[in-house]
Amino acid sequence: MRDMMLIALYAFAGAAAAGLLGAGVLMLIRRRSLTAHLAVVAAVAVTAMLAGTLAVAQAMFLSAHDLSVVTTVAAMAAVVSLATALLLGRWVVARSRALTLAARSFGDGGDFAAPAGPATAELAALSRELEATSEKLARSRDRERALESSRRELVAWISHDLRTPLAGLRAMAEALEDGVAADPDRYLRQIRTEVERLNGMVGDLFELSRIHAGTLSLSPTRMSLYDLVGDALAGADPLARELGVRLVGDEVVAVPVEVDGREMSRVLGNLLVNAIRRTPADGTVAVAAERLPDGVLLTVTDGCGGIPEEDLPRVFDTGWRGSHARTPPAGAGLGLAIVRGIVEAHRGRTTVRNVSGGCRFEVILPHAPA
């Protein structure tokens, strides 16, 4: 028993010395290639075995011939181990380099494609993560391009929409100033109308800037959706009467919601005004609300004749106003973008779809806490 303890002790001492030496070498070459690290690890394993074997052989007083035999066997094992480690390291490094070259496509605005061929589990997992990241970056680039296009269109449209009323205001002001206005009261009423229009556009721009900056502050309170819709219908009724459009809100369920009343009134007001202006005279705009398993569904259906399928994904984009035939004279393409921003701030979502004779805007809000 004592001999076995001594043999184990000698073997451990020799292997420990080789292990400490290998750890020091690994620290020195920690910035070198993976091939070098694998070679050092293989060398440490063989050297530890050889050192332990030689220590035990010396302690057991083997003959010189036996000692040379043991040393030769260990040396051959070391050569094979090092060669295997170098081959394995070169294969892993080659795969890693191929992965590095494929990842460079990120910087060039391209998509990542994993190199073909077998790979270790870690490199395969890294390839999958890079592919997922590539898809996210592609979607992000598409969104950024769409937003940039929307910004350019918005600037162009806002510039045009501001120039027209400002030119009219200047002309009317000069006519009043020169005393050539045939009906000053009519001019003053028109000036007030244009000022209110400009004020509404500035208010929409300010609201949209708060949404995009993430500074929209909400004060949610528990209220009935029935009351919220009723107030919105009452506010939109004068415009509907003026344009000869009938408002219907018979299918609104009294569902409790927890929302910011002022902001949600703006959502409903924008949807109703948008629907009324795009519905021909003698048409109908219907509002409905119902409870769903995953939330509360609020819909506004108009009689606009439908939206082209290719335009449906852009309806809620900033500055989108559709075709010229469907563009209201006072619109700046901000109302629906504000609707989406406010609804998403309430953790809801907005969609639009074509129905018979028009389109239906849908707002889904979370259930009010019990």
Residue 6: per-residue pLDDT: 67
The token duo for 112 is 């990542």
Structure tokens of 138?
């592609």
pTM score, two decimals? Answer: 0.56
- What angle (nearest 5°) sits at the alpha carbon of residue 79, between those of residues 77 and 80? 65
Three-class SS state of 290:
strand
* Secondary structure class of 317 (helix, strand, coil): coil
Q: What element of type H or E holds 246? A: strand 246-252
Order of strands, sheet of 295-301, starting from the edge strand that comes earlier in the sequence = 246-252, 284-292, 295-301, 358-365, 349-355
pLDDT attached to residue 323: 52
- Other residues' Cβ atoms within 10 Å of the Cβ of residue 210: 16
Instruction: Give me the helices (H) in the chain, please.
Output: 2-28, 34-59, 64-103, 121-178, 184-213, 225-243, 261-278, 335-345
**Longest CA pairwise span in the chain (Å):** 130
Q: How many Å from the N-terminal Cα to the C-terminal Cα in the chain?
A: 74
In this prediction, residue 245 carries a pLDDT of: 93
pLDDT (tens place) for every residue of the chain, 370 residues total: 566 676 677 667 766 777 777 777 767 776 676 667 777 777 777 777 777 776 666 666 556 677 677 777 777 777 777 777 677 777 777 777 777 777 776 656 667 666 776 666 777 777 777 777 777 877 887 878 877 776 777 677 677 677 777 888 888 888 888 888 778 888 888 888 888 878 877 877 778 777 777 778 888 899 988 899 999 999 999 999 999 999 998 888 888 899 998 899 989 999 999 899 999 998 999 999 998 888 899 999 999 888 888 888 888 877 666 654 334 444 556 788 889 999 999 999 999 999 988 999 999 999 888 6
Neighbours of 297 (CB within 10 A): 16
pLDDT of residue 327: 40
pLDDT at 328: 40
Rounded Cα gap, residues 38 and 24, in angstroms: 14
Cα 243–303–335 angle (5° rounding)? 75
* pLDDT number for residue 297: 92
